[in-house]
């Protein structure tokens, strides 16, 4: 088993590629299944003989089964991560965001693989719990096809746990940031957009008054938790929020970027986005109970790494 790879679906993407790096550094072999829709080869240490890339789609059941063969565990991160894309094309994104999960579950059952990490999202809560520390029992309100597919995936993983003995570790990520996050869409993570524009000397648009808050987690801190979940002898069932229980406003974010760059970026203010959540913050008690959470990377330090400072 020692040399059996860990499969990372979506491993060429932002979070997946950091997980691949961390697992390789801990001596694991890694197999990535990725269709390179948003992921990039250049995110991966492809010269490492312990890393293998299979280019293809998680919606292709036969390919998922081939990728699963001989693996000791799975991190299922492949998804169309853009909520807006799911609103624009629910049918196509459902293939990646739900059928992909079902294919992973089935092929795990076939191949006797038990452990699976799943990247769910704070989006499953919709607007519920806004302004409070959102815990895992907060009522779910999936408002978009993306959120509905994440929640349905969670339920299927739980079914396979009860019926077939799978060991899923479901994580609901809040706002993850760090190097390799793609800033190219207007709906990309706000930190990736702001840092890219500030570095290029371009003006930044804040939607709303900039007092809205998010619970930002540096990708390296998240990855340390995912590695523990992959390596743990035993896992407790039930989803786990990944956040810091810390509210950072966009104005605080802009100040941090200004400090790192040595000058404040130019900022324009526009109408708040329709349906935008004002305050999003995780109750992370379960995370802290179940996992060794590292001393969280301060926002300023994470931003500095992102800006290569």
Active site residues: 146
Q: Considering only residues 5, 31, 98, 100, which one is a binding residue for ligand NAD as defined by CB under 6 A?
A: 100
Q: How many CB atoms lie within 10 A of CB 52?
A: 17
Q: What is the spatial distance between Cα 255 and Cα 263, in angstroms, rounded to a whole number? A: 9
Q: Could you tell me which stretch among 70-78, 93-101, 112-120, 181-189 binds ligand UD2 (CB under 6 A)? A: 181-189
Contact range with ligand UD2 by CB under 6 A, out of 12-20, 38-46, 134-142, 182-190: 182-190
- Residue 42: both structure tokens together: 């250049």
x/- map, 108-127, ligand NAD, by CB under 6 A: -----------x-x------
Q: Does 190 bind ligand UD2 (CB under 6 A)?
A: yes
Q: Does residue 35 interact with ligand NAD by CB under 6 A?
A: yes
Is 133 a residue that touches ligand UD2 (CB under 6 A)?
A: no
Q: What is the dihedral of CA 242, 245, 279, 127, to 10 degrees?
A: 50
Q: Could you give the CA distance from residue 271 to residue 259 in angstroms, rounded to a whole number? A: 26
| Residue 207 binds to ligand UD2 (criterion: CB under 6 A) | yes
Smallest gap from Cβ 104 to ligand NAD, in A, equals 10
Q: How far is the CB of 70 from ligand UD2 (least distance, A)?
A: 33
**Which residues lie closer than 8 Å to 97 by C-beta, 6 or more apart?**
79, 80, 86, 145, 146, 149, 150, 153
The binder of ligand UD2 chosen from 7, 99, 240, 250 (CB under 6 A):
250
Which positions ≥6 away from 211 have C-beta within 8 Å?
Answer: 249, 250, 251
- Quote the tokens at residue 231: 């390596």
Q: How many C-beta neighbours within 10 Å does residue 18 have?
A: 23
Choices 4-12, 204-212, 225-233, 286-294; region in contact with ligand NAD by CB under 6 A: 4-12
Give residues in contact with ligand UD2 (CB under 6 A). 83, 121-123, 175, 187-190, 193, 205-207, 212, 214, 250, 273, 276-277, 280
């Amino acid at each position: 088993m020692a040399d059996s790879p860990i499969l990372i679906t979506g491993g060429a993407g932002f979070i997946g590629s950091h997980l691949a790096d961390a697992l390789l550094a801990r001596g694991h072999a890694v197999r990535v299944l990725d269709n390179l829709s948003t992921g990039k080869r250049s995110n991966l240490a492809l010269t490492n003989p312990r890393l293998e890339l299979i280019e293809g789609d998680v919606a292709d059941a036969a390919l998922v089964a081939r990728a699963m063969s001989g693996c000791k565990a799975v991190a299922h991160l492949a998804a169309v991560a853009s909520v807006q894309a799911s609103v624009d094309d629910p049918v196509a994104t459902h293939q990646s965001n739900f059928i992909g999960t079902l294919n992973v579950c089935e092929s795990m059952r076939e191949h006797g693989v038990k452990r699976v990490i799943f990247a769910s999202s704070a989006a499953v809560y919709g607007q519920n719990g806004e302004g409070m520390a959102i815990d895992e029992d907060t009522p779910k309100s999936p408002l978009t096809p993306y959120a509905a597919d994440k929640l349905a995936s969670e339920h299927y993983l739980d079914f396979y746990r009860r019926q077939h003995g799978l060991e899923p570790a479901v994580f609901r990520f809040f706002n993850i940031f760090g190097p390799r996050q793609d800033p190219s869409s207007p709906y990309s993570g706000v930190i990736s957009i702001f840092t890219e524009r500030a570095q290029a000397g371009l003006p930044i648009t804040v939607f709303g008054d900039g007092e809205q808050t998010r619970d930002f987690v540096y990708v390296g801190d998240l990855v340390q938790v995912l590695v523990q979940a992959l390596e743990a002898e035993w896992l407790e069932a039930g989803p786990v929020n990944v956040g810091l229980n810390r509210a950072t406003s966009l104005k605080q974010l802009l100040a941090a970027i200004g400090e790192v760059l040595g000058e404040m970026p130019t900022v324009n203010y526009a109408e708040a986005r329709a349906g935008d959540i004002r305050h999003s913050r995780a109750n992370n008690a379960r995370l802290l109970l179940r996992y060794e959470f590292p001393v969280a990377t301060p926002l300023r330090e994470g931003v500095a790494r992102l800006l290569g400072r």
